[in-house]
Amino acid sequence: MAEPYNSNNFNREPVQPPPPPPITIRTMESDRQSMQSSGGTPIPQPVKPGELKIPEPEEEPIFTPPTPMDSGEPEKSEISKWTKTAGLIAGIIILITGFGFLGYYFVYPLIFPSQPELPAIQEPLPSAPLIPPLVEGLEPAETPAPSLVHRSFFTSPANQLEPLVIATVTIENIREAMAVSAMQTLDANGVKEIVFETQAGLIIAPEFLSALLPILTQEETSTNFEDDFTAYLYYDQNGVWPGFIFKLKTTAILFETQTIVEKLETVAVSMLKNIYIADPQNPTSAIFLSGQIKGTATKYLPFEVAGASLNYGIISNYFLISSSFGGVQEAANRLGL
């Protein structure tokens, strides 16, 4: 707290400060003089070593690095384990190889002794074919063509099948053979397939057709028609009517074939009567009339005898000739057209 104001304080004398202490400099000489003035000289005091306590310096902790984890032992253990496994596998492989070697080269030959190799048999070289010497005036014999095998064009078989053997291929022999076969009767709408042949074998279509209708030459027919053909006799209430089916070759040109068969319309009626067994009398038309079989245009020439009309046409890939309209219809049905 502040001292209260008193006016008497200004009348007091000022207080003098004490004198400063004497400042002396202590030296070795001053110490000696001081000791002499005090009546003695400095006497050294023995100091026992045990009494001397020298402070031991504080030991600073020495840095010790952390001891690393000993990871070498597990790694060494794993390497040792892998080495043992690899060694065991290698030992097994070597052992198996050794047994295999012993078995193959020692045991196997004892059980299965090798057979002595037989000397290779050398086949003799084929000798050159002997060519007979040509004799002057003689021609080499021709190689016979493979015999023809007849296969019917009918997909629905005929009621009967009969081979007709003739001596030579002439129109007289053909008509006579058909007349003899027609003596055997069949039910109405019945069909008998007849197969023409000679002692030499089946008669081929070009040869037969050119004998039946000479207007059609063998050269033309062999170019357009296959060798095999189907001949038949159709029976109805009016009589027995022959018919013939020839198959076009795959190389035949339809337009050219049509032109060839149309020559039938230009021949004498006497030639057309060749396909009949009995005389059909005279035609009732001066020209061939247009008809239709299975949706295909055909031509026909009617005769005076009931049921007699010469029909022809190319239906699908077949050339059909029939001595009656009923016969050509039945033939088309049995062909599956």
Q: Supply the DSSP string of 272-287, one letter for each residue.
A: HGGG-SS---SBSSSS
In this predicted structure, what is the pLDDT of residue 121?
Answer: 58
Mean pLDDT to the nearest integer, 179-188: 94
d(CA 327, CA 313): 13
In this predicted structure, what is the pLDDT of residue 289?
Answer: 97
Q: Greater confidence, 26 or 329? A: 329
pLDDT higher than 90, residue 15: no
- Residue with structure tokens 């008509």? 175
Q: Greater confidence, 336 or 61? A: 336
In a domain, 65, yes or no: no
Amino acid at 104: Y
pLDDT higher than 60, residue 190: yes
Contact present, 281 and 304 (Cβ < 8 Å): yes
In this predicted structure, what is the pLDDT of residue 127?
Answer: 60
Contact present, 240 and 182 (Cβ < 8 Å): yes
Residue 87 pLDDT level (bands cut at 50, 70, 90): confident
In a domain, 226, yes or no: yes
Residue 189 phi/psi, 5-degree rounding, is 70, 15
In a domain, 273, yes or no: yes
For 185, the domain range is 160-334
pLDDT higher than 90, residue 211: yes
Show Cβ contacts of residue 36 under 8 Å, excluding neighbours closer than 6 positions. Answer: none
Q: Greater confidence, 318 or 105? A: 318
Q: What is the mean pLDDT of the chain?
A: 81
In a domain, 104, yes or no: no
d(CA 203, CA 210): 12
Mean pLDDT to the nearest integer, 274-289: 96
Helix, strand, coil shares of the chain, percent, nearest 5, are 35, 20, 45
pLDDT higher than 90, residue 61: no
Show Cβ contacts of residue 207 under 8 Å, excluding neighbours closer than 6 positions. Answer: 169, 218
**Residue 297 corresponds to which tokens in the numbers above?**
């245009």
In this predicted structure, what is the pLDDT of residue 195?
Answer: 97
Mean pLDDT to the nearest integer, 118-124: 58
Into how many domains does the chain fold?
A: 1
Contact present, 309 and 328 (Cβ < 8 Å): no
d(CA 208, CA 16): 186
d(CA 299, CA 290): 5
pLDDT higher than 60, residue 4: no
pLDDT higher than 80, residue 33: no
**Residue 67 corresponds to which tokens in the numbers above?**
């001891």
Calculate what percentage of the chain has a pLDDT beyond 90.
55
In this predicted structure, what is the pLDDT of residue 82?
Answer: 74
In a domain, 316, yes or no: yes
Pairing of strands 160-165, 191-198: parallel
Q: Could you tell me which residues are beta bridge partners of residue 290? A: 299
In a domain, 58, yes or no: no
In this predicted structure, what is the pLDDT of residue 1?
Answer: 47
d(CA 324, CA 310): 6
- Residue with structure tokens 């002057």? 136
d(CA 159, CA 234): 10
**Residue 145 corresponds to which tokens in the numbers above?**
């063509």
Calculate what percentage of the chain has a pLDDT beyond 70.
64
In this predicted structure, what is the pLDDT of residue 208?
Answer: 97
- Residue 273 zone, left/alpha/beta (φ > 0; ψ -120 to 50; rest): alpha
pLDDT higher than 60, residue 198: yes
In this predicted structure, what is the pLDDT of residue 80?
Answer: 72
Amino acid at 211: A
Contact present, 120 and 194 (Cβ < 8 Å): no
pLDDT higher than 60, residue 135: no
Residue among 304, 233, 331, 303 nearest 313 (CA): 331
Query: If DSSP codes are grouped into helix, strand and coil, which group holds residue 129?
Result: coil
Residue among 174, 148, 265 nearest 215 (CA): 265
Give the tens place of pLDDT for each residue, 231-253.
Answer: 999 999 999 999 999 999 999 99
d(CA 318, CA 335): 9
Q: Greater confidence, 114 or 45? A: 114
- CA neighbours closer than 13 Å in the CB half-sphere of residue 305: 19
In this predicted structure, what is the pLDDT of residue 55?
Answer: 56
In a domain, 147, yes or no: no
Alpha-carbon distances of 186 from 51, 158, 189, 284, rounded to whole Å: 169, 11, 8, 29
Top-confidence range, 15-24, 153-162, 259-268:
153-162
Amino acid at 91: G
In this predicted structure, what is the pLDDT of residue 199?
Answer: 94
Residue 197 pLDDT level (bands cut at 50, 70, 90): very high
In this predicted structure, what is the pLDDT of residue 219?
Answer: 92
